[in-house]
Structure 1
Amino acid sequence: MGIISICQPDTEKSCGACCGLYNWEDYSRETVSEILHSRTDLFQHYFSRREVDKLALYQTEVKNRPHPPKMYDDIFNCEFLGFVDQNRRRVGCLLHPMVNDGYDYRDYAFYGKELCFGHECPSNTYLNTEEKFLVTHVLGDWYLYGLVVTDIDLVKDYYKKIRTHLGGPLKPEILKDPQLTVIARDFFSLKENWKFRKKGRFGKYAFSYGEYRLAKMDYEGLGTKESKYHNILLSLGSSFETGGDLLEAEEILERHIWRFVERYRNIDPLWYRLR
């Protein structure tokens, strides 16, 4: 499989989470897309001739434009995050040399060139090659890709449960099956449309008044033991009113995982030899 880039894996998608992409109280696809399109248009207006004195004008206008409240105060939302390709499929740094004919303007940003260049995404460290391949292969848009690839617990637990049922690692050539891709994408889409997600949650973190804490699941209050899908439920920002809600959520996750397992077994008749 070779080396897989988490930040810019291909021409169809990328991730900008480290630049504050989702750090808004309203981090819906519509809101974040509007911010990126607006800033990209504005940047192109001011910096079409690459006159560095215009960058301050750009920054001032961005600052004065209305935007949603931030989710977490200590995370900086970089104003130079925008779309870096003509088709506006990939997000990234508008000051990066790859989009400025080799000229690097990142020292005009808050963090500067050295810090940006040296940043190491935790997902790059903690996701193994097979997990990275799964996510980068099945997800095709920047918004969902960034939400998922930075949620280490979600990716690892999903992969682990599938691998447990199959008795071994997933084969890359099998993962390229179009139907299997759709099945995995449907599961990861829960990150965006999960019916039990609580407002003020971003994955396993709960945010309030610019501060955050690790969220907890009150299993005792629900009259049940810890779910076998605990990590996934936290990653999806879950909150349940009743034990019945929890049971419904577990059944949804169970169906998603078994859809993948059954399709994989149908494609690879030798899957049992992994055991």
Structure 2
Amino acid sequence: MGLCQPSADVPFSCGACCGLFNLELKPDQFKTLLKDRTETFKKSVDFSRPYTMAEFRKVREEAEKNYIKKDPLTYNCPFLGMLTEEVSGASPEIKVRSRIGCMIHPVYTGDPRSQNYSFYGASICQAYDCRNKERNFADEWENIFSEFADDSFSYSSLSSDYRTIDLIEGYLTEKGIPSSEWFTDSKKIIRNILQIKFDQNISLWNTSFELDMESPPPISFKERLAKWLGLESDDPRL
């Protein structure tokens, strides 16, 4: 699945489009929420009895109805949970990987329409592509995110943050660095900027549905990137 669910040697994944980060929760609370969902799912859902998926959704929506949302119109799908998988042929340290993802995805249920039990339905769930997944260099960004992240939550905050990546690509282009060198000779620059993003807690939890409604200011990409990261335009780290 590419950027959402990277290659087998990466233990992380992104679940931002399922609306998880639309909830006003701290990192540990996100992990607890997903653990609770997953445990409830395993105890109550039987794929041979499809109606149990509908019952699970009803129970979890009731349990989570009082969580504060960043955007009241963005849905938080309760079928997003922890996916613990055995990885054949993988290195010992990731023999078992814990990712986040759709617990009723057809790969698990065997039913191509099983996601119709979710709010958006199978057609939307399987067709939605976020800005970063659609990039020309999505595979290269996937590698950067995989190297930089330390869990599925930090991976998700990178994979869904199109604003930062837009500014980085514009900044590198403005510096006259050809795209063929972005992920080789300029890889250190990218990693430094991403580190600043995390140090400054910039857009750490994205829903992946954010839309930039304002026109870009008439300033350079370096200035725009500095402003976004809360830095001075002459900061030596840029």
Q: One fold, TM greater than 0.5?
A: yes
Sort the Cα spacing of 1:49 and 1:118 in 2 relative to 1 into closer, same or farther, 3 A: closer
Which of the two has higher C-alpha Rg? Answer: 1
Give the percent of matched residue pairs that are identical in Structure 1 and Structure 2.
Answer: 22
Q: 8 Å contact 1:19–1:81 — kept in the other structure?
A: yes
Q: Deviations over 1:197-255 (max 9, x none)?
A: 599x969x99xxxxx99689xxxxxxxx9883324543x5x5xxxxxxx53x863xx42
Equivalent in 9, 24, 43 of residue 6 of structure 2: 9
**Structure 2: stretches of 5+ with no match in the other structure:** 86-95
Q: 1:163 to 1:172 in 2, by over 3 A?
A: closer
What TM-score, normalized by structure 2, do the two folds share? 0.71
Structure 1: segments with no counterpart, 5+ residues: 207-211, 217-224, 239-245, 258-275
Aligned pairs for 1:180-191 (under 5 A) are: 184-185=190-191, 187-191=193-197
Residues 232 and 121 of structure 1: is their aligned pair in 2 closer, same or farther, counting only changes over 3 Å? Answer: farther
CA distance in 1, matches of 2:12, 2:33: 17
- Give the corresponding residue for 1:268: none
1:128 deviation in Å? Answer: 2.1
Partner of 2:155: 145
Once the two structures are superposed, residues 74-118 of structure 1 have per-residue CA deviations (whole angstroms, 9 ceiling, x without a partner) of: 111111011223345322111101123x23411111111112122
CA distance in 2, matches of 1:48, 1:70: 30
Question: Contact 2:170–2:221 (CA<8 Å) still a contact in 1?
Answer: no
Q: Does the CA-based 8 Å contact 2:167-2:221 persist in structure 1?
A: no
Q: How far 1:52 sits from its partner (Å)? A: 2.0
| Cα distance in 2 for residues equivalent to 1:8 and 1:40 | 18
Is the Cα–Cα contact under 8 Å of residues 84 and 92 in structure 1 kept in the other structure?
yes
**Cα pair 1:84 1:90 within 8 Å, conserved:** yes
- For the 8 Å contact 1:153–1:232, the answer to whether it is kept is no
Number of aligned residue pairs: 219
- From the superposition, tell whether residues 173 and 231 of structure 1 become closer, same or farther in structure 2 (CA, over 3 Å): closer
Is the contact between residue 44 and residue 52 of structure 2 (CA under 8 Å) also seen in structure 1? yes
Is 1:154 aligned to residue 164 of structure 2? Answer: yes
8 Å Cα contact 1:84-1:91 kept in structure 2: yes
